[in-house]
Amino acid sequence: MIENDASLSSRTDRDTRPDRHARPDLAGRSALVTGGGSGIGRAIAVALAECGAVVTVTGRRPDALAGTAELHPRIRTVVGDVGDPDRAEPMIETAVAGTGRLDVLINNAGVGVPLALGRIDPEVARRTWATNVLGPTLLTQAALPHLTESRGSVVNVSSTYGIKPAPGHSLYGASKAALEQLTRSWALELAEHGIRVNAVAPGPTESEALLRMGLSAETIESIKDQERQRIPLGRRGRPEDVVPWVLALADPHGWVTGQVIGVDGGYVLV
């Protein structure tokens, strides 16, 4: 399974990170995080709420979303699939309800199934593109009037595979490469409105993704061990490795736009 990652001219890959304590003040602001039922999305949602924001998390699994909501009183949930074009407007409406505004949009939801060319199923291809590319596009478009009013920010969650080729990952990697190109294009388009658009690109990161693929515990551990051996810093990522970078990009006083920041332990380098 593929999780998220990093880099070239518009990317930075560092072994340092923003001060965990220098968090932005988001009191009175509102954020929407897709794919917030676990992993990176859950960690981002909790961190935004701790910064003072009212946070709406979306996802397809009600129980998982409820688990996220239990972690902070400022987290609300809305069940829905970002890959469904009819859900974009209702998700934005839910996020705006109560506060009357939307300041931060985190396009985190993503799917990826390793398939070599010759074995790619059309339905898997459709779902990958719908979730990783069309979903963020329509959701950001629906959020545009509110982000324009708040001069807000968009943070897309990409992956090392958006730039790093790997056998069996062509479809997933292409979808993340597309998301990074959307990031740069939107940054130019929306700068005149004061909206900043950036992305983070995590490397292999601890989450429930491999488990949800139905793999055995032995297979999962084997995959993780192989990944550890290929990461220069010697370990898989943790959601908390990614969170500080997302918070920095979500800061309403930020001056960064159009960037893709690699948070991958050097994985993109090998």
Q: pLDDT, tens digit, for every residue of 101-120?
A: 999 999 999 998 888 999 99
CB burial string 206-244: b at 16+ within 10 A, e below:
bbebbeeeeeeeeeeeebeeebeeebeeeebbebebbbb
Distance CA 112, CA 184 (A): 22
- CA dist 36 to 67, 77, 122, Å? 10, 9, 27
CA-based max dimension of the chain:
51
The per-residue pLDDT for range 6-34, each reduced to its tens digit, is 333 344 443 444 454 579 999 999 999 99
Supply the angle between the helices 170-190 and 122-129 in degrees, to the nearest 10.
20
Q: Report the catalytic residues.
A: 172
115 token code pair: 């398939």
The per-residue pLDDT for range 110-153, each reduced to its tens digit, is 998 888 999 999 999 999 999 999 999 999 999 999 999 999 99
CATH of the domain at 200: 3.40.50.720
Instruction: Count up the domains in the chain and report the number.
Output: 1
Q: Are 88 and 138 a contacting pair, CB within 8 Å?
A: yes
Q: Are 143 and 32 a contacting pair, CB within 8 Å?
A: yes
Distance CA 65, CA 86 (A): 20
Query: How would you class 63 by CB atoms within 10 Å of its CB: exposed for 0-12, middle for 13-18, buried for 19 or more?
Result: exposed
Distance CA 125, CA 156 (A): 20
**Predicted pLDDT at 13:** 40
Cα-Cα end-to-end distance for the chain: 19
Q: Are 29 and 225 a contacting pair, CB within 8 Å?
A: no
- Tell me if 6 is assigned to some domain: no
Domain that holds residue 110: 21-269
pTM of the complete model: 0.89
Q: Which amino acid is it at 123? A: E
Question: Hey, which residues does 106 pair with through a beta bridge?
Answer: 33, 155
**Predicted pLDDT at 7:** 37
Arithmetic mean of pLDDT, 256-269:
96
Answer whether residue 248 shows pLDDT above 90: yes
- Tell me if 44 is assigned to some domain: yes
**Predicted pLDDT at 211:** 61
- Tell me if 241 is assigned to some domain: yes
- Tell me if 225 is assigned to some domain: yes
Cα angle vertex 170, ends 164, 172, to 5°? 85
- CA dist 191 to 137, 186, 188, 246, 260, Å? 17, 8, 6, 19, 16
- Tell me if 162 is assigned to some domain: yes
- Tell me if 10 is assigned to some domain: no
**Predicted pLDDT at 212:** 60
Query: How would you class 256 by CB atoms within 10 Å of its CB: exposed for 0-12, middle for 13-18, buried for 19 or more?
Result: middle
- Tell me if 13 is assigned to some domain: no
Answer whether residue 242 shows pLDDT above 90: yes
- Tell me if 218 is assigned to some domain: yes
Answer whether residue 213 shows pLDDT above 90: no
